[in-house]
């Protein structure tokens, strides 16, 4: 692909709801590197309404029709995880580059199959691990790289799942089936641990995890019905990284009246803290604090260079930065955007945590 706009086809667009309209389209609209060329929705009337609202030249009521279009360069898959395998396979078989929402598949096996298919066809891929692009995490990564904390010794993370608490909307009910690959461990925890590992520029060498339930039922907001909470609302993880540092993490369902997101990175020469009033950094409001040598802890301003698209509101801002990185990869041959290979590595980590039951797993 050259410097002409990358023509995007987005699968799963509703004019008034859903992640595509809330995040992907606002992220793409200000980027001159892209042009939204086509959208699809299984309901033709919904697809038409979305195309009119967002200015897409073409719309379709099937993903088959969208991926077959010769004027679509990049297919974006923004639907629920159980549909990813079939839709991504369609796009790859049609010879299209693919940007998929995370998780890539419902499990490690699906993710590996999709990675291998893309690699075999020589097609570019990107996975929606946008925490890596969040200004706070990107700034922390550069601070660590430049020696702010010295040698990294340990990192601790506390997080909240936002949902999987006392109550849940029916729209999220599918996340209560672990087979759908969209539980707390798969989505908010995975996004957060990936962002931390990226900031540390390291991977787990070994890891152990405990998944359990403090709550056993959850109330559906619309009806008041109690359903079994059959996926973990408590996640504890501990492991050693390839650089020798130790990481511990605790995620819990719902929101806390105290700490909702807090990462502390301790080093031989300094310390960093990333904190947010909400449990998911993609919503914004993440602060960076630090101290080194004889300093006391203080706020570290995030330079404007990391806030590339301040006119784009959260949650779309981090995704806009991710798309800008992908455009550089596609047009200039850089390697800034996480790929399906990175997705497989994260799936492998989540799989190890799920099966460990407190017994360390080698990675």
The pLDDT tens digits for 156-211 are 999 999 999 999 999 999 999 999 999 999 999 999 999 999 999 999 999 999 99
Whether 177 and 228 have beta carbons less than 8 Å apart is answered as no
Contacts of 198 (CB under 8 A, 6+ apart): 129, 131, 132, 137, 141
- Please list, in sequence order, all residues whose beta carbon lies within 8 angstroms of the beta carbon of residue 312, skipping any fewer than 6 positions away: 26, 27, 30, 320
Length of the chain equals 363
**Cα 64–chain centre separation:** 26
**Burial of 88 from C-beta contacts in 10 A (0-12 / 13-18 / 19+):** buried
Give residue 280's pLDDT: 79
> Which regions of the chain are under pLDDT 70?
1-2
CA distance 81 to 91: 16
SS (H, E, C) the chain: CCCCCEEEEEECCCCCCCHHHHHHHHHHCCCCCEEEEEEECCCHHHHHHHHHHHCCCEEECCHHHHHCCCCCCEEEECCCHHHHHHHHHHHHHCCCEEEEECCCCCCHHHHHHHHHHHHHHCCCEEEECHHHHCHHHHHHHHHHHCCCCCCEEEEEEEEECCCCCCEECHHHHHHHCHHHCCCCCCCHHHHHHHHHHHHHCCCEEEEEEEEECCCCEEEECCCCCEEECCCCCEEEEEEEECCCCEEEEEEECCCCCCCCEEEEEEECCEEEEEEECCCCHHHCCCEEEEEECCCCCEECCCCHHHCCCCCCCCCHHHHHHHHHHHHHHHHHCCCCCCCHHHHHHHHHHHHHHHHHCCCCEEC
CA distance 350 to 111: 12
The pTM score is 0.96
Domains and CATH numbers, the chain: 6-130 (3.40.50.720), 131-295+340-362 (3.30.360.10)
> How many angstroms separate the CA atoms of 16 and 20, rounded?
10
pLDDT recorded at residue 270? 98
pLDDT in tens, 216-257: 999 999 999 999 999 999 999 999 999 999 999 999 999 999
pLDDT at 179: 96
Tokens 């080698």: give the residue. Answer: 362
Expressed in angstroms, the distance from the first to the final Cα of the chain is: 35
How high is the pLDDT of residue 48? 96
pLDDT number for residue 2: 57
Please state the φ and ψ torsions of residue 69, each to the nearest 5 degrees: -70, 125
Asked if 136 and 272 touch (Cβ cutoff 8 Å), the reply is no
Q: Is 278 in contact with 261 (CB distance < 8 Å)? A: yes
Q: What b-and-e string marks burial along 339-349, b requiring 16 or more CB atoms within 10 Å of the CB?
A: bbebbbbbbbb
* Distance from C-alpha of 20 to C-alpha of 14, rounded to nearest angstrom: 7
């Amino acid at each position: 692909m050259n410097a002409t706009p990358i023509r995007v086809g987005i699968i799963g667009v509703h004019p008034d709801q859903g992640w595509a309209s809330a995040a992907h389209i606002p992220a793409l609209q200000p980027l001159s590197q892209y042009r939204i060329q086509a959208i699809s929705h299984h309901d033709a009337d919904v697809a038409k309404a979305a195309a009119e609202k967002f200015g897409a030249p073409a719309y379709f009521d099937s993903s088959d029709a969208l991926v077959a279009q010769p004027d679509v360069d990049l297919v974006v898959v923004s639907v629920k995880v159980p549909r990813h395998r079939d839709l991504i396979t369609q796009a790859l078989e049609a010879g299209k580059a693919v940007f998929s929402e995370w998780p890539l598949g419902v499990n490690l096996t699906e993710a590996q199959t999709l990675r291998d298919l893309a690699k075999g066809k020589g097609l570019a891929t990107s996975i929606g691990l946008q925490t890596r692009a969040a200004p706070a995490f990107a700034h922390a990564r550069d601070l660590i790289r430049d020696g702010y904390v010295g040698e990294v010794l340990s990192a601790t993370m506390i997080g909240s799942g936002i949902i999987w608490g006392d109550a849940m909307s029916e729209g999220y009910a599918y996340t209560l089936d672990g087979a759908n690959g969209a539980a707390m461990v798969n989505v908010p925890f995975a996004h957060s641990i990936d962002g931390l590992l990226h900031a540390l520029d390291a991977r787990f060498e070994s890891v152990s995890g405990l998944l359990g339930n403090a709550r056993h039922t959850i109330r559906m907001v619309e009806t008041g019905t109690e359903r079994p909470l059959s996926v973990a609302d408590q996640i504890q993880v501990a492991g050693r990284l390839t650089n020798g540092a130790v990481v511990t993490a605790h995620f819990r369902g719902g929101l806390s009246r105290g700490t909702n997101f807090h990462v502390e990175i301790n080093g031989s020469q300094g310390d960093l803290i990333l904190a947010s009033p909400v449990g998911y950094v993609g919503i914004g409001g993440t602060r960076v604090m630090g101290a080194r040598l004889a300093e006391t802890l203080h706020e570290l301003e995030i330079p404007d260079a990391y806030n590339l698209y301040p006119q784009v509101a959260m949650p779309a801002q981090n995704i806009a930065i991710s798309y800008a990185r992908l455009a550089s990869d596609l047009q200039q041959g850089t390697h800034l955007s996480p790929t399906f290979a990175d997705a497989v590595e994260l799936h492998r980590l989540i799989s190890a945590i799920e099966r460990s039951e407190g017994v360390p797993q080698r990675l």
